[in-house]
C-alpha cells in the first residue's frame, strides 16, 4: 500500500500491527473511548522506600511496558540507575516507552537491547549510539516513533499500556505529591510525565528531596503514586537546560531568524491576540528577540505562547507582550523557576498540549509556529528523524503536532556543510507537506503553493526573496552536488506514526 | 441480611442492585480498575453557545444520567435553569447525580419527579420539600445517598456513569478552561465538580463570564469540555457563602467548642505537624478560634487543614499556624478569593479528598476531625440524614469520609429543643460507631470504649466531665422523655451507602 505522502508501506510488520496508512493532517470528528488503568488501593502510608531494587522487584515483570520522562534531558540520572538494576535482575522482553530518549541514555539502551532486556521501543526519537544500533538492525522488532501529542493519544487510547512508570522528580512528599519546580534538579513543567502518572498501572517516583507532607503545588498527585524512592541525586542541574540560551551570533542563523520574523509580521496572523510557538536553540531565541521588537513597535500582544518554554519567552510574559505561557516543558532554568511566580504560566500535560483525539488541544489553537528540519523536500514534507545517510538521529518531538498551526514556518539553512537540507525527496517523512506553509532559508523563502494567500501577502514585503521550493532545492543541489543514494536492506527498523496513529513512513535498516 | 451495624437489609431493591452489606470502616487493600469515558473529538472552535436549550437538545436523551455540582449552594441559578428546560422539553426517566442538592433546588426536583423527568436520584443529601416528598414515597426507586468521597469512587469505578454534566462556573474561555476563583459568583475550589469534568461523556459549562482564551489557572480544562454556554447569571454571590462566618455567641455552642478544643489539645495528636478538619457553622468556627490560641500558646503548627475551608482557616495559613490548606470546597468568600494568592492553598478534587479506592486520600492522613450529628447512639453510630420523625433532611457530605481520622470528634448538643441528640439507636446509620472516638456535648464528653488510650489521656484533664455514652443518652432522655416510635411502611425510599459502596442502612417510607 502507498499512503497519501506516497510512501510504500508494504511492510509485513506494519500490516501485522494493523496500521492504517496516513491519509491527511485533518483529524475527522468522531467519538473515541479512553482506556482504563488499574489502581492498587492503599492509605498511602507505606510508599517510601530507599531501595530502587526492591521496588523494581515488586513491580516489573518479564514482558511489561515501562516508561520514563525526559524532562531532565542530558542531566538525567534516573534512567540509567533504574535500567542498570533491571538489567542486573535479568528481567527480559520489556517494552521501553519513554517520552523521549536523550543522549545520556543511549549506551544503556543499547546494553539493554543486547541483553534481551529491552525488545520493543516506542519513543519520540533517538540519537547517537542507540540510533546507530537500531538503524543497523539491533532490535528484532521495529521501533515506533510517536510525537509528544501522539504518545499522549496512544496512552489515553490504550495503544501504549504502561505497566510501570519510573518518574524522576526534584521533590516529593512521602505520599507522592510532587512538582518540577522545587529542589536542586528542577526542570519546571512535568508536562510529558503527567500522562504516565495518570495512566500507568504502577507509578514509581524517584527523588533526592523528600519534603514535608503535603507537598504543594502537586503536579503529580498522591492518588497517582505507588512508591516514592529516595535516591542520592536525580539529575545534574547543569545539564538539564537544553543547549543555547544565549542569542546566536552566527550570521546565517541571524539572517534566517530575521526573515522568519518578516514572514510572521507580514502574515495575516500578526495581530493583537495572536499565538505562537518558537522552541529552543539559538535561532529560535533570535526569532523570539526579533518578534519582541516587532510586537513592541506595532503594539501587538500575544494571547499565548506554547511549547518548550525558554527564559526569553518568560521575559515577554513579564513585559506583558504575551498574556499566557502554556507550558508543557521548560528548556532552561529561568523558565523552570518562574512557573511558581505567575498564574499566567500554566503547566499543561501532553494531552492538553497536543493529543489530537480530545476536545481541543493547544496546538489546534496555534497561529504561528517555527519548526526545524533535517531535510525538507519539494513537496514540503519534512524529515527530523534520519540523517542523509539514513541513520536515525533525531526526534519527532512536537513537530507533527505544532505543524497544525495556521502558519507553520520551517526555519533551516539551505545546506549544512556538504549536505543539502532542501532535497527532491526527504529520507524519512515525519511531517507531511500539507502542514507546512513557508520554508525560510538564509537565501530566501519558499511558500507552499496551496497557500496562495500567503504568497500574495508576502510578495508585498520589500527585499524578501521568494523562490519556489524547486528553485531552492536546485540551488542546494548546485552547492553540494548529487548525493549517493542510501543503501538499505529490506528489513524495517522503525515505523513513523503520524499524530493520529496512522503510518506515515517506515525506516529501513541501512547497509554498511 | 444484617450488616455489621445490625441493620436489617432484607430489601428487595438492595438485593437486586447487588449490594454487599457494610462490614467495616477498614478498606482492605486490593486492585481495582478505573472506568472509561467517551471523548468527542473536536478542535474546540465550536463550543460556545448562547442557547441552553439547543445544548440540552444536542446532549440529553431519555434515560440518561445528568449531573450538577453544588458549589454555588443556596446561590445556585444553574440547576433550576437547566432542569426547567429539560422538563419543558419532555425528556423522561433521567437519573439525577449531583454532588449534592441544596434547598434552592428542592421544588424543581419535586416538579421533575412528578413529571416523570427524574426517576432516579443519587446525592449526598436532600432537605425541605424534596426530602419530604422522597420520604413520603414520591420516587418509585430508592434514592442512593453517597458521601463526597464515595461519589468520587462511584464515578471512578463506573457505578455512576454521567452522560452529561452541567457545570456552572464564574468564568470560562471559549474552549472551556475555567476556575472557581474569578468573576462575580466565585466559590473557590471546584473540588466536587472536577470529578464530573473528568469522567462525564459530555461536559457542558454554563457561565456568565466568557474571558479571553486561554483562561488560567484552569481547574477545569478545555480537554474536558464539550460546550460553553453563556447565560445571564450563574449565581447569587450573596447566597453562595454557607451561613455563619462570624464567631458564635450562643453559650452552649461556645461551651461545646471550648470542650472540643480541650479534647484535641489533650489528645496525643496535638503536636507539631498535626492535621485537622473542622468544617463550617458557628461552632466549627469557634473551635478554629480556640484551636488557634492553643496552637500559639503551645508553639504547635499544623501540617494541613482539610475540608470545606473558611476564612478563619485562611487566617491560620497566613499566620503560619497551618502549612497547607487542602481545599475541596470553600464555605465563604474569603476562602474562595484567597486560593489565587497562595500555592499553599491547594485545590483538590473529591477523589484526592476522600475516594477510599485510590492510592491514598487526604482523609486517610487526617489526625483530627470535628463532625456534627443529628443523632448519635449508644454504639456511637451517627445519623446526619434523617430527622427524629424519619424524614430525610440532611446530607452525608464528607461525614463518613473524614470520620476515618485518627481522632474523630462528634460535636453536638445533648438535646435540640424537645428532641434528643444522644439516643439508644439512631434513626438512620450514616457513619458507623467504630469510626467515632469522642462525643462532645455541652454537659460533657463520652469516649468510645474501644479508645481506652484516649480515656486514659483525657481523664487527666482537670474539670473535663467524662461520661459513658449511656449516661449521656439517659440524661438526654430525662430532659425530653421517650419519643413515640416512627411509623414506617415496608417500602424503601433510600439506600445509604458506606464510603466503600457497601450498604450501611436503608430509609423506609414514613406513614402519615
- Give A228-242 pLDDT, tens digit per residue: 999 999 999 999 886
Q: What is the largest CA-CA distance in chain A?
A: 69
Contact, B383 vs B411, CB < 8 A?
A: no
Contact criterion met (CB < 8 Å) for B216 and A346: yes
User: Nearest CA of chain B to the CA of A202: how many Å?
Assistant: 10
Sorting pLDDT into bands at 50, 70 and 90, what band is A356?
Answer: very high
Peptide bond before residue B214 is cis, with ω within 30 degrees of 0? yes
Rounded to an integer, what distance in angstroms lies between the CA atom of residue B492 and that of residue B390?
12
CA distance B86 to chain A (A): 24
- Nearest neighbour of B221 by CB, restricted to A41, A203, A352: A352
Looking at per-residue pLDDT, the higher value among A105 and B5 belongs to: A105
* Interface contact flag, B359 A304, Cβ < 8 Å: no
- In this prediction, residue A334 has a pLDDT band, given cuts at 50, 70 and 90, of confident
Grid cell 479534647 is found at B263
Q: Which helix (H) or strand (E) holds A335?
A: helix A333-338
SS3 B237: helix
pLDDT tens digits along A19-58: 999 999 999 989 999 999 999 999 999 999 999 999 999 9
Nearest by CB: B175 against A221, A324, A360 = A360
The span from the CA of A272 to the CA of A12, in Å, is 51
Radius of gyration of chain B (CA): 22
Chain A CA closest to residue B203: A359
Residues β-bridged to residue B415: B420
Nearest CA in chain A to B324: A214
pLDDT at res. A362: 98
> A140-164: per-residue pLDDT in tens?
999 999 999 999 999 999 999 999 9
pLDDT(A326) > 80: yes
For residues A71-75, average pLDDT = 96
Distance CA A20, CA A1 (A): 10
Q: What is the pLDDT of residue B11?
A: 65
Identify the weakest region by mean pLDDT among A71-85, A303-317, B426-440. A303-317
Q: In b/e form, how buried is each residue of A374-404, taking b as 16+ CB within 10 angstroms? A: bbbbbbbbbbbbbbbebbbbbbbbbbbbbbb
Per residue of chain B (512 residues), what is the pLDDT tens digit?
A: 578 888 877 667 777 888 999 999 999 989 999 999 999 999 999 999 999 999 999 999 999 999 999 999 999 999 999 999 999 999 999 999 999 999 999 999 999 999 999 999 999 999 999 999 999 999 999 999 999 999 999 999 999 999 999 999 999 999 999 999 999 999 999 999 999 999 999 999 999 999 999 999 999 999 999 999 999 999 999 998 865 556 788 999 999 999 999 999 999 999 999 999 997 777 788 999 999 999 999 999 999 999 889 989 999 999 999 999 999 999 888 898 888 888 899 999 999 999 999 999 999 999 999 999 999 999 999 999 999 999 999 999 999 999 999 999 999 999 999 999 999 999 999 999 999 999 999 999 999 999 999 999 999 999 999 999 999 999 999 999 989 999 999 999 999 999 999 999 999 999 97
What's the mean per-residue pLDDT of chain A? 95
| Residue A9 scores a pLDDT above 80 | no
CB contact under 8 Å between B323 and A212, yes or no, is yes
State whether CATH 3.40.1080.10 applies to domain A251-481: yes
The residues, ordered by sequence, that sit 6+ positions from B311 with a Cβ below 8 Å of its Cβ are B245, B332, B333, B334, B335, B338
* Distance, CA of A367 to CA of B414 (rounded, Å): 66
Question: Which residues of B fall within a CB distance of 8 Å from A221?
Answer: 352
Asked if A42 lies within 8 A of B360 by C-beta distance, the reply is: yes
Contact yes or no for A40 and B47 at CB 8 A: no
| B303, B357, B360 ranked by CB distance to A222: nearest | B360
Q: Chain B residue with minimal CA distance to A340?
A: B343
Contact residues, chain B, for A212 at CB < 8 Å: 273, 303, 323
- Strands B382-383 and B375-377, by their bridges, are antiparallel
pLDDT tens digits for range A376-422: 999 999 999 999 999 999 999 999 999 999 999 999 999 999 999 99
Average pLDDT over residues A193-210: 98
| Cβ–Cβ < 8 Å for B392, B345 | no
Q: Cα B320 from chain centroid?
A: 28
User: Which one of A27, A32, A213 has the shortest CB-CB distance to B303?
Assistant: A213
- Give me the pLDDT at residue B8, please: 79
Q: CB neighbours of B399 closer than 8 A, spacing ≥ 6?
A: B147, B371, B372, B382, B384, B430, B431
Which one of B42, B361, B365 has the shortest CB-CB distance to A359? B42
Facing residues of A162 across strands? none
B356-to-A195, B66, B154, B361 alpha-carbon distances in Å: 23, 24, 10, 7
Among B35, B45, B359, the residue with its CB nearest the CB of A224 is B359
Is residue A279 pLDDT above 90, yes or no?
Answer: no
Tell me if A12-22+47-239 shares its fold with A251-481: yes
- Mean of pLDDT values over A501-507: 96
> Is 70 exceeded by the pLDDT of residue A246?
no
Q: State percent of chain A over pLDDT 70.
A: 98
Q: Domain boundaries in chain B?
A: 12-22+47-239, 251-481
pLDDT at A243 over 60: no
pLDDT score, position B243:
56
Identify the residue among A356, A360, A365, A499 best suited for mutation to test binding to B, counting B beta carbons within 10 A and taking the highest.
A360
Inter-chain touch B212–A323, beta carbons under 8 Å: yes
| A125-126/A368-371 β-pairing | unpaired
A41: chain B residues, CB-CB within 8 Å: 27-32, 356-359
Measured over the CA atoms of residue B320, residue B322, residue B323 and residue B329, the dihedral's sign is negative
Query: How far A59 CA lies from chain B's nearest CA (Å)?
Result: 14
Contact of A504 with A2, CB cutoff 8 Å? no
Interface test with B, best of A165, A173, A216 (most B CBs within 10 A): A216
| B46: closest CA of chain A, how far (Å) | 10
B39 with A45: Cβ contact below 8 A: no
Please report which helix (H) or strand (E) contains residue A319, including its range. helix A311-319
Terminal-to-terminal C-alpha distance of chain A:
28
Determine the residue of chain A that is closest to B339 in CA distance.
A343
A20: closest CA among A398, A508, A495, A509? A495
**What would the grid cell of residue B468 be?**
459513658
Residue of A212, A223, A304, A354 best to disrupt the B interface, most CBs of B under 10 A: A223
Stretch A84-103: mean pLDDT: 98
* Spatial contact of B142 and B494, defined as CB atoms under 8 Å apart: yes
3-state secondary structure B226-264: CEEEECCCCECHHHHCCCCCCCCCCHHHHHHHHHHHHHH
Q: Nearest to residue A371, comparing CAs of A488, A482, A281?
A: A281
Return d(Cα A489, Cα A512) in angstroms, integer: 10
Closest by CA to A429, choosing from A511, A483, A507, is A507
- In chain B, residues with a C-beta closer than 8 Å to the C-beta of A326 are 214
Q: Span A334-350, mean pLDDT?
A: 91
Model confidence pLDDT, tens digit, residues A419-470: 999 999 999 999 999 999 999 999 999 999 999 999 999 999 999 999 999 9
Quick one: closest CA in B to A223, which residue? B359
- Do the Cβ atoms of B42 and A29 come within 8 Å? yes
Q: Which pLDDT value is given to residue A122?
A: 98
CA distance B118 to B128: 18
CATH entry 3.40.50.1010 includes domain A12-22+47-239: no
Is A213–B365 a contact, with Cβ atoms under 8 angstroms apart?
yes
Amino acid at each position: 500500500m502507498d499512503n497519501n505522502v506516497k510512501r510504500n508501506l508494504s511492510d509485513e510488520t506494519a500490516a501485522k500491527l494493523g496500521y492504517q496508512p496516513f491519509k491527511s493532517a485533518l483529524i475527522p470528528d468522531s467519538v473515541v473511548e479512553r482506556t482504563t488503568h488499574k489502581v492498587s488501593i492503599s492509605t498511602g502510608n507505606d510508599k517510601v522506600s530507599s531501595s530502587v531494587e526492591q521496588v523494581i522487584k515488586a513491580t516489573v515483570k518479564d514482558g511489561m511496558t515501562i516508561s520514563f520522562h525526559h524532562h531532565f534531558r542530558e542531566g538525567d540520572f534516573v534512567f540509567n540507575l533504574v535500567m542498570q538494576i533491571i538489567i542486573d535482575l535479568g528481567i527480559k522482553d520489556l517494552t521501553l516507552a519513554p517520552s523521549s530518549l536523550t543522549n545520556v541514555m543511549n549506551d544503556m539502551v543499547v546494553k539493554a537491547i543486547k541483553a534481551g532486556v529491552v525488545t520493543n521501543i516506542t519513543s519520540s526519537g533517538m540519537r547517537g549510539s542507540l540510533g546507530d544500533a537500531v538503524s543497523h538492525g539491533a532490535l528484532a522488532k521495529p521501533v515506533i516513533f510517536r510525537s509528544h501529542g501522539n504518545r499522549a493519544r496512544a496512552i489515553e487510547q490504550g495503544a501504549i499500556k504502561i505497566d510501570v512508570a519510573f518518574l524522576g522528580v526534584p521533590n516529593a512528599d512521602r505520599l507522592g505529591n510532587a512538582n518540577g519546580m522545587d529542589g536542586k534538579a528542577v526542570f519546571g513543567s512535568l508536562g510529558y510525565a503527567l500522562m504516565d502518572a495518570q495512566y500507568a498501572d504502577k507509578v514509581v517516583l524517584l527523588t533526592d528531596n523528600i519534603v514535608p507532607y503535603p507537598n504543594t503545588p502537586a503536579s503529580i498527585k498522591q492518588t497517582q503514586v505507588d512508591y516514592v524512592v529516595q535516591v542520592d541525586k536525580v539529575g545534574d542541574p547543569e545539564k538539564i537546560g537544553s543547549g543555547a540560551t544565549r542569542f546566536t551570533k552566527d550570521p546565517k542563523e541571524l539572517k534566517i531568524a530575521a526573515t522568519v520574523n518578516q514572514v510572521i509580521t507580514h502574515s495575516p496572523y500578526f495581530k493583537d491576540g495572536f499565538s505562537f510557538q518558537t522552541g529552543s536553540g539559538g535561532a529560535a531565541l533570535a526569532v523570539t528577540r526579533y518578534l519582541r521588537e516587532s510586537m513592541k513597535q506595532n503594539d501587538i500582544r500575544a494571547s499565548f505562547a506554547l511549547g518548550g518554554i525558554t527564559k526569553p519567552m518568560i521575559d515577554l510574559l513579564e513585559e506583558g507582550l504575551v498574556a499566557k505561557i502554556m507550558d508543557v516543558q521548560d528548556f532552561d532554568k529561568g523558565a523552570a523557576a518562574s512557573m511558581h511566580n505567575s498564574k499566567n504560566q500554566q503547566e499543561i500535560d501532553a494531552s492538553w498540549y497536543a493529543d489530537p483525539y480530545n476536545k481541543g488541544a493547544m496546538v489546534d489553537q496555534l497561529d504561528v509556529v517555527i519548526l526545524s528540519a533535517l531535510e525538507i523536500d519539494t513537496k514540503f514534507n519534512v524529515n527530523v528523524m534520519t540523517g542523509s545517510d539514513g541513520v536515525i538521529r533525531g526526534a519527532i518531538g512536537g513537530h507533527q503536532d505544532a505543524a497544525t498551526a495556521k502558519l507553520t514556518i520551517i526555519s533551516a539553512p539551505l545546506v549544512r556543510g556538504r549536505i543539502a537540507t532542501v532535497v527532491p525527496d526527504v529520507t524519512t517523512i515525519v511531517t507531511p507537506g500539507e502542514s507546512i506553509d513557508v520554508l525560510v532559508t538564509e537565501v530566501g523563502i519558499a511558500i507552499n503553493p496551496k497557500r496562495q494567500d500567503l504568497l500574495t501577502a508576502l510578495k508585498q514585503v520589500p527585499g524578501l526573496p521568494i523562490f519556489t521550493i524547486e528553485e531552492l532545492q536546485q540551488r542546494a543541489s548546485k552547492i553540494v552536488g548529487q548525493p549517493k543514494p542510501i543503501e538499505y536492506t529490506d528489513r524495517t527498523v522503525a515505523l513513523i506514526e503520524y499524530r493520529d496513529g496512522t503510518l506515515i513512513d517506515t525506516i529501513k535498516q541501512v547497509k554498511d
